[in-house]
Amino acid sequence: MEWKNFDLLDSYGKLKALKPVMVKDVMAGENGAVRVENYQVPMSNGMVYNFAAKQVDDTVLDVLQGLADEAELTAKFEALYNGAVINTGEKRMVLHQLCRGQLGNDVIADGVNKREFYVTQQKRIAEFCEKVYSGEIVNENGEKFTTIVQIGIGGSDLGPRALYLALEGWAKVNNTLKMDAKFISNVDPDDATAVLKTVDIAHSLFVVVSKSGTTLETLTNEAFVKNAIEAAGCNPSKHMLAVTSETSPLANNPAYLDSFYMDDYIGGRYSSSSAVGGCVLSLAFGPEVFARIMDGAAAEDQLAKNADIRKNPAMMDALIGVYERNFLGYPSTAVLPYSQALSRFPAHLQQLDMESNGKSVNRFGEPIDYVTGPTIFGEPGTNGQHSFYQLLHQGTDIIPLQFVGYRNNQMDNDVDIQGSTSQQKLSANVAAQIMAFACGKDDENRNKYFEGNRPSSIIVADKLVPETLGALLAHFENKVMFQGFVWNINSFDQEGVQLGKLLAKKVLAKETDGALTAYSKLLGIF
């Protein structure tokens, strides 16, 4: 197995020589209908990844298959899940998939079987949940807890928050919402204050999430919350949990009711499958629902092992994205879920993709001569249609689109209005947008002319439930991983977030000069 820069592969030259496919031509008429049926890859749980409106044909797909083979994507994934040191920057293994299932050999690290370690943490969390639900664990007045508040930032917030919001409504109508969940992330005191104003502190549990136990924003918010708990006449040690590493100052600390553990082999943006997501989501929905999310993710991980891109949805998505980024010259991707429940999922994908593949050096720290990760942004439809779709349709940049759609609504509540239900209207908008972007519209009035040829793909599921949510999570994690392999970059460190943190500490210590001092004065720090 070799790790080569992308532009040193034979496939790079072959892709560069390809003639771009005109979407508006291949999607027009009955040929477009046949293409929609044929250009898709089955996913788990009845889902499908459809790429008919992408700028690819069988010739492009054959070259992309050759790229997958030449870059040894399947072998590299196999090395990852079998415990190879894939995170070269921090010299660590990458094991987030192991939280949801055994993909290969036993992985032994730190003297323990890591799959058993992750399962043990899930079991400990489940046991804690049952004690909370049954009233064995209560507040100092002997009363049950009703709310869980997660205190964390970055991957300790974005992924778990997105998953909670995705299932909150579903859980309510299915009578599986055990506790309301809230999230505090921003060190802005208005964030913590706003959340605390919405909860009954005496009946709330607070989960402090920090792998190192030293994250400035999280520890600041923890102190903020502790102050509020004490002001409410409560004992913080009776209301707080820690999710951290076994070696952090938060571990086995009497200031917390309990501590649940993660390790250095799971990066923050990949940590929703670990105790980071497992604790808050299990408390909110019940451990059984969290297990269902993990089952959905595990099923998608199994598909990611397939060497045939026509049977591997994450790899197909990844390679088409590489083709668009490196050879069609598209700098951005819009993620457009047609489900209000996925309102924060694009924000999670921003971190997942941009923190992973926003790199300009290869795995060995050497500069590279090709572009890597795109800019990710998005909002739920149909809201986005009345916001930024103008630029997507008629702007000067072509921006590839990633739709997510569902055949049925999540909460089993709809009405027929003027001959169609709200869900049918929502789905009609998805279909219409795909074709409008692909084929455009001729008009002598140039203000009303749509050029078309704007590529998109769509992931379709029957309904947003725990299993399909887990599959969606794993699909994008694996897509990002495969793209990082192609670009020969390390998708699992994030040095880009460190410099700002270092300078902020200097400001707070008043160890500044020049413009940094001037900006500090401008902002009223000193």
Give the strand pairing for 40-42 and 48-50: antiparallel
Q: Which two tokens stand for residue 63?
A: 């070259």
- Give the span between the Cα atoms of 107 and 85, in whole angstroms: 12
CA separation (Å) from 129 to 134, 281, 286, 301?
9, 10, 7, 27
Q: In this structure, what are the phi and psi dihedrals at residue 157, rounded to the nearest 5 degrees?
A: -125, -50
Q: Are 324 and 221 in contact (CB under 8 A)?
A: no
Q: What is the CA radius of gyration of the chain?
A: 24
**Residue 355 known to be catalytic:** yes
DSSP 458: E
Selection from 323, 327, 300 nearest residue 312 by Cα: 300
Selection from 253, 312, 343, 249 nearest residue 44 by Cα: 312
Annotated active-site residue in 501, 505, 506, 510: 501
Q: Which two tokens stand for residue 225?
A: 């919350």
**Residue 386 known to be catalytic:** yes
Selection from 296, 297, 298, 316 nearest residue 306 by Cα: 316
Q: List, in order, residues 6 or more apart from 165 with CB less than 8 Å away.
A: 341, 342, 343, 344
Provide the 10 A C-beta neighbour count for residue 513. Answer: 8
Annotated active-site residue in 386, 505, 506, 521: 386
DSSP 3-state of 410: coil
DSSP-H helix ranges across 273-421: 275-285, 287-303, 313-326, 345-357, 389-394
Give the strand pairing for 147-151 and 180-184: parallel
Torsion angle (degrees, nearest 10) of CA 57, 60, 61, 67 = -170
- Give the span between the Cα atoms of 39 and 365, in whole angstroms: 38
Annotated active-site residue in 355, 379, 467, 477: 355
Q: List, in order, residues 6 or more apart from 274 with CB less than 8 Å away.
A: 96, 99, 118, 121, 262, 266
Burial class (CB in 10 A: 0-12, 13-18, 19+), 1: exposed
Q: Which two tokens stand for residue 389?
A: 């779709």
Q: Which two tokens stand for residue 235?
A: 């004992």
- Give the span between the Cα atoms of 199 and 237, in whole angstroms: 18
User: Mind telling me the catalytic residues?
Assistant: 355, 386, 501
